[in-house]
Amino acid sequence: MKVAIPTSNQKTLCEYIPFCKYLMIIDTETNETELLENPIFERVKKEHIKKRNCGENGLQTGQILPPLLKEKGVDLLIAMHLGEGLLDNLEVYGIKYKITHERNIKDLELK
């Protein structure tokens, strides 16, 4: 199974997906990891979008990430917050999700 985790430092989860540099993809069977640059983060940086304005900027996280994760073979997304559009489209692409309050990646249950 492949699990995607939003992170900027490969050690902790980012609280909001658009503001993390990467999506760390972990293959739970082989323990291989892949670091995928977050395409939404590039826009956030370029346009100087602040977290408090995130929902108002139409970042299209729900439209951009699910097909990208599906292409990478991701089965599960673990995050701290997920917007409605992202939740809906994860379902469309058959990607499960888990909401967590755990910040340390090493302490996550990857199932």
Q: How far is CA 25 from CA 7, 56, 80, in A?
A: 10, 28, 16
pTM, 2 dp: 0.90
The rounded mean pLDDT for the chain is 91
Going by the DSSP 8-state scheme, the letter that residue 13 receives in this structure is B
C-alpha torsion angle, residues 54, 108, 7, 61 (rounded to 10): -40
The ranges of the chain with pLDDT < 50 are 56
Q: What domains can be seen in the chain, in order of their start residue? A: 2-106 (3.30.420.130)
